[in-house]
A and B are shown apart, each in its own frame.
Chain A
Amino acid sequence: MTGLTGTADVLIAGAGIVGAACAWELAKAHLRVAVVDQSFPASGATGAAMGHIVVMDDSEAQFALTRYSQTLWDELRDDLPANVEFDRCGTIWVATDEAELAEVRRKSAYYCERAVPTEILDSAALQNAEPSLLAPLAGGLLVPGDSVVYPAAAAAYFLERAAALGAKLHLGKRITKLGQGTTRLEDGTTLEAGKLINASGQLAAKLTPGIQVKPRKGHLVITDRYPGTVHHQLVELGYLKSAHSVATDSVAFNVQPRKTSQLLIGSSRQYGVEHDKVEPVILSRMLQRAFEYIPKLRALSAIRVWTGFRPATPDKLPLIGPCLEDPTLYLATGHEGLGITTSLATAKLMAAQILNSAPKIPMEPYLPSRQMVADVHA
């Protein structure tokens, strides 16, 4: 078998964390796997992401996928190399008023019913846990099982494991056509594979026209090293309002402590912006929001600002499974801001479908066919 002309059982388009996790999972099942990426591993949303492993409760399906995937990360943690910077720092959902405190209690009850440990923090307990936060705030919800990773290093590790099991990586190769068991590259080469997986994130609709995945732009800031400033990933409860608003640009307080003692400061969400330039107006709004929660952030030095594009779907759930019109083609995209968290569960569900084995959680909510059904009834 020579280079690009070789055949594979499964060809994965996209070497982000989802494609990388799928490659590893399928290689573990003794399939011959090929991964093709137009540039390099984690060059899209994965490389731009914060890397927050978080259990979410927007819907039962989102809870099931994030929770399942979090347990997979926890099982993997001892094997992860140090540069993946896995840190089980926990999340604190910060409440500023009585309405948000009610949301803390609702969220706590929801997680408790589903055996996810949480701790309700009153104003004093929140201040004690995070002395840098503006005082007094109403309280918060600590979810101690949430973690942080360095996504680019995690994707590289998954690909390295896949390659050790025989997976072939084709980097710097742009795909011009993906379908009917064939992948055509810009340089004219054709790759044949029994199954194709479109895991190309926000670019997925370019390779598979008609699927509803849109880029949702985000900004992030990283600071210099300030040990002890923040101890948990801190997210405002208003974050949900921001993440759900589909019409307008929004910002939310979301700060993450890195193992390097740096802080990642987010977050912003924008539809309909295609250029990747940093936008001073959005950046300023995002930082002002962060300063409202942690005034001392104003005095810190930022060393870099960048943007990225989340692959967003209309119903906030990823597309994992066969693309009905083409029996060779599967989708693993549309993870929006949860791709790092849900990459491992996505890989398990993808493997279950390709190998015809039983999945650990119901996979129906994530099947791409739901979009077609929605279209019919629209």
Chain B
Amino acid sequence: MPENVTVYVNDLPVTVPTGATVAVAVMLSSNVCRTSVSGEPRAPLCAMGACFECRVEINEVRHLRSCQVACEPQMKIKVGR
């Protein structure tokens, strides 16, 4: 298994150690996971799948919890939505 994996956060490549969650990749490239209904930026809070604050779009599926998904090569992650 390769040591690192590269994903794309809003089209920018980010390389993280294999096994890192999407939340890690997002925090390394942008401080925002999503934008709330009232327009506030949101980021991981509980990091264990309970709070839903870290939702992002992964490979065109919205509202996935980035702290619960491991990065896979070439993943396309969209944040700030």
Contacts and interface: CB of A to CB of B under 8 A. Distances in A.
A299 B62 CA distance: 9
B61 interface: yes
Interface string A264-308: 000000000000000000000000000000000001110000000
Contacts of A315: none
Contacts of B55: 224
A18 B77 CA distance: 47
Interface string A216-227: 000000001110
Interface string B53-68: 0010000011110000
Of the four ranges (under 10, 10 to 19, 20 to 34, 35 or more), the interface on chain A belongs to under 10
Interface residue tally on B, bucketed by range: under 10
A362 B51 CA distance: 55
A300 B61 CA distance: 7
A301 B55 CA distance: 11
Contacts of A225: 62-63
Nearest to A298: B61
A226 B64 CA distance: 12
Contacts of A299: 61
A301 B69 CA distance: 14
Contacts of B61: 299-300
Contacts of A224: 55, 62-63
Interface string B4-31: 0000000000000000000000000000
A299 B55 CA distance: 14
A300 B63 CA distance: 8
Interface in A41-72: none
Interface string A221-236: 0001110000000000
Interface in B27-81: 55, 61-64
A353 to B, nearest CB: 45
A224 B63 CA distance: 7
Interface string A191-235: 000000000000000000000000000000000111000000000
A225 B62 CA distance: 8
A227 to B, nearest CB: 9
Contacts of A226: 62-63
A191 B64 CA distance: 54
A204 B55 CA distance: 44
A310 B62 CA distance: 33
Contacts of A300: 61-63
Contacts of A301: 63-64
Interface of B: 55, 61-64
13 contacts: A224-B55, A224-B62, A224-B63, A225-B62, A225-B63, A226-B62, A226-B63, A299-B61, A300-B61, A300-B62, A300-B63, A301-B63, A301-B64
Given A225-B62, A300-B61, 11 more contacts: A224-B55, A224-B62, A224-B63, A225-B63, A226-B62, A226-B63, A299-B61, A300-B62, A300-B63, A301-B63, A301-B64
Closest 6 CB pairs between A and B? A224-B63, A299-B61, A301-B63, A226-B62, A224-B62, A300-B63
